[in-house]
Amino acid sequence: MSLVSAYNEWDPIEEIIVGSALHAAMPNEDKGFKTIQKTTHDLFDSIRPGAFHQKIIDETEDDIQAFVDELKKLAIQVRRPDPIKFKDKFKTLDWEAEHYFCYCPRDILLTIGDMIIETPNVFRSRYFETFAYKDILLDYMRSGSKWISAPKPRLLNEIYNDSDPNQSALMNLEPVFDAANVLRAGQDIFYLVSDSGNELGFQWLQNILGKQYRVHPCRNLYSSMHIDSTLCLLKPGLALVNPSRVTDDNLPPLLRNWDKLIAPEMVEYTYSDAGSFSTKWLGMNLLMLAPTVAVVDKFQLPLIKLLEKNGIDVIPLILRHGRTLGGGFHCITLDVKRKGKLENYF
């Protein structure tokens, strides 16, 4: 029986992958990083290239272990990557780059039904990141899961728009997108067209998934990176929305009949002066363990109260350096198996 089975963002989790901060380092040269820096205004603070301070790594690993311990208390199977330590730059036929990290499996791997898909990530520094998950992927394949890898993009200079900051950072020359551009709601899949996912990426995903799924491109919703600090699908009929980005006009039409919780202002805090790689809205980057249980940043008390008022119990935890490393509880996980089946929620 396939170990991969995930059709939405809220059914009870049975198995999950949790990333690692070990060997994380900010790349010195990455054309994608530099291009997106020019087109966004709430990401990419001035983080110096090179390995993150060991204190940041150690404290993050402690926070992740506390998170893993909570998951195991709920009888959730947890898998971890084998982080790669690159000694030098790696090369393709066209360019060379430095490795970034294995902290956010949500960006590079996508589970839909019994498929696990290696997505064509937009950053050169993450080109070989899925190697850290190869043993896990092999286990899933042996269990009957469909293991698919998108065509490896060449990521030539021409795919990055560094001439017009008013346009997307990605040109439409080949399929490129991060898995974190995607939200699942049964037969309907929401795909954010943005600086981390282009139109050809949307088309490739729809072609691969076929008629069983309907992939909806979300245009003019949020122009920068990833959808999971803009929209959170909490359970059928209920979504959490970012009021600074989502309006009645740009909300995906299918979601306009759902009840919407308006995310309160995020509580900002810092545990280091290393800088921020993420918007303050990372605070709403929560993980639904079940339709009535969420893991939420413990400092986001207004958000916690809002969720509890609407029937969702909260497990308050912390990732002290989440904004520096660029990932909250949704980012650093990949829900591999959830109870439930494919349904039509619309």
| Contact (CB, 8 A) for 98 and 125 | yes
State the Cα–Cα distance between residues 137 and 130, nearest whole angstrom: 9
Tell me how crowded residue 208 is: count the other CB atoms within 10 A of its CB. Answer: 16
In this prediction, residue 222 carries a pLDDT of 84
Q: Which residues contact 249 (CB under 8 A, 6 or more apart)?
A: none
- Active-site position among 102, 104, 218, 331: 331
Q: What is the pLDDT along the chain (346 residues), one digit of tens a residue?
A: 899 999 999 999 999 999 999 999 988 877 777 777 666 645 555 567 788 999 999 999 999 999 999 999 999 999 999 998 877 889 999 999 999 999 999 999 999 999 999 999 999 999 999 999 999 999 999 999 999 999 999 999 999 988 777 778 898 999 999 999 999 999 999 999 998 899 999 999 999 999 999 999 999 888 788 899 999 999 999 999 999 999 999 999 999 999 999 999 999 998 987 777 788 999 999 999 999 999 999 999 999 999 999 999 999 999 999 999 999 999 999 999 999 999 999 9
In this prediction, residue 241 carries a pLDDT of 97
Q: Is 331 a catalytic residue?
A: yes
Closest by Cα among 283, 293, 291 to 330:
283
In this prediction, residue 43 carries a pLDDT of 55
Q: Is 178 a catalytic residue?
A: yes
In this prediction, residue 174 carries a pLDDT of 96
Q: Which residues of 60-81 are buried (b: 16+ CB within 10 A; e: fewer)?
A: beebbeebeeebeeeebebbbb
State the Cα–Cα distance between residues 322 and 306, nearest whole angstrom: 22
- Active-site position among 11, 114, 178, 297: 178
Q: Where are the alpha helices (DSSP H) in the chain?
A: 31-39, 54-73, 105-108, 134-142, 199-209, 301-309, 322-325
- pLDDT tens, residue by residue, 224-239: 888 999 999 999 999 9
Q: Is 259 a catalytic residue?
A: no
State the Cα–Cα distance between residues 262 and 143, nearest whole angstrom: 40
- Active-site position among 23, 99, 216, 226: 226
In this prediction, residue 322 carries a pLDDT of 94
Query: Side chain identity at 331, as an amino acid letter?
Result: C
